[in-house]
Structures are given as C-alpha cells and as structure tokens.
Structure 1
C-alpha cells in the first residue's frame, strides 16, 4: 500500500473501482463464528442446513460485509476516514466455495453539517456479487473527507 492524499474535491460522482475475486472458505466462516460468538446453525451445522431451504451452510452476513470492505481497502489516504455504513442489505446467501467480487461507485458528496468549509462526506455504493454475477450484498460506505484549505 502507498499513501495517497485524496481530498474531498478529488472525488467525482460516478467514478468506480472493482476488485478481483475472493473465495469464501469454511475456515472463514469458522473463524468469524469464533470472533463474533455467532454459532447459529445456519453457518455451522451442515446436517441441519441440508433440511432447510438454502440446503447448505451460509456465510455470516457480517463476514461478507467485513471481507467486502477489506477487499476495497487500497491505498492509505490520510485525508479520509470511514464514517460508517448505511443501508446494508443481505440480498442473497453466500455459500462455502462462492467467489465474491466488489464494485464501489461514488454516488454522492455532501458538506459536513458543522464544518462545511473543511470537511465533507463521500458516499460510496458497494455492491458484492458472486461468481454467477448475482448481487449478494449492497451497502453505502460513508467517508469523512478533508477539504483543501480555503484560501484566505
């Protein structure tokens, strides 16, 4: 990774980036269950899930959020930080062996309410798809971004 200064003014609505694929493994699911304490049978009980509509174990939604956000993390930008996530939707299940890819599109920019001269928000629509090009997750990633200093 490299450090890249990218200011609020440098982001353009409509710009997009995409990742390479990442296959979700059983180890991913087991580790996530241990880290979060979410041992629900939907994720860990293959026999029980064989009797359910999905037919097999599914990855935790929070695992897919974490992996997808990590996949979009690239260069270090000291001018921006993650402010949070909105409108998270788990559209379809992700199964062991599925390969996900992520597309991130800048959809909106807005001024910070309290410090509009120095800060703004950048909204990034994150769309996660599986190897069949089916959307499995969508969310909006919000960044708090510094503005270039206003000339006196």
Structure 2
C-alpha cells in the first residue's frame, strides 16, 4: 500500500507488532556466506559446547536484519529510513528460536535544516518465544511534514 503518513500523523506511544519467524540453521549458514562471518560461535557446534551458551548462536546482524524486515509493512511514500541508533544485542538467539518484533513510536523531532521534514524515532524491540528481549534499537524515519 502506498498511503502517505505525514510527520504530524505519527503519535508517540503508537505500536505495531509483527508476526513470528523461526530462525533456522539455513538462515545462519546463508548469512555467514553473505557476510563472510564464519566465526565458530555460529558455525562450529563442537566448539560451542565448550562455551557459555553450549550451542551455536545466530549472528546479531542476522537477527537485526530479520527483525527489521519483519517490521516493514506498507510503503510510506513520504518517509524513508534515515538509519538506526542504539543497536544492542541483549540475548543470544539459537537455531529453532522464534522471534517477534514490536515497534513503538518513541519520539518526534524537527530536522535541524529541512523545515519540510522531521524525524520520527521508532523503538524496535525483538523478542523471543520466551518473551525475552533479544535485540533493541531505534529506527529513524525522515518524514515529510504536511503543513509547512
């Protein structure tokens, strides 16, 4: 859908949630191949048995990518992603874990130079099947103002 949502229409505290997605071994192997990150934490089951978590963990960047992808929905033709701040990997995600994403409008602020645009800050929380926070970040949207 291409429905414009202008800066003024975003309301602090509004939320939306995304469906779940189970992380598979194939996800981890594909991500390792795409990024070149073949560290044993992700790829070597025997080595992982000697480490704190006792099993392979998904790449943080994989969980970030999947989590953000799950939050993408309707296309807003008057806004675009400006970037991400305060990205933290809180807990590991393992093969077979199912993650969910929740987005909350956290903040709105004017653009320092563009009077026709403002920033909308979305708090993105990725949660596992045990309701544990595994990743958090802030997504910045540069959004057009309707009344300039």
TM-score (norm 1): 0.96
Secondary structure at the counterpart of residue 70 of structure 1: helix
Q: Distance in 1 between matches of 2:16 and 2:85?
A: 19
**Any gaps of 5 or more consecutive residues in structure 1?**
none
Please report how far the alpha carbon of residue 149 of structure 1 lies from its aligned counterpart in structure 2 after TM superposition: 4.3
Runs (4+) of structure 1 exceeding 4 A deviation are none
**Any gaps of 5 or more consecutive residues in structure 2?**
none
Residue 107 of structure 1 corresponds to 106
Q: Distance in 1 between matches of 2:3 and 2:142?
A: 16
Secondary structure at the counterpart of residue 52 of structure 2: coil
Please report how far the alpha carbon of residue 20 of structure 1 lies from its aligned counterpart in structure 2 after TM superposition: 1.2
Residue 117 of structure 2 corresponds to 119
Please report how far the alpha carbon of residue 44 of structure 1 lies from its aligned counterpart in structure 2 after TM superposition: 0.5
- Deviations along 1:24-48, one digit per CA (max 9) or x if unpaired, are 0000000000100100000000110
Instruction: Say if 2:38 is the partner of 1:28.
Output: no
Residue 146 of structure 2 corresponds to 148
Residue 131 of structure 1 corresponds to 129
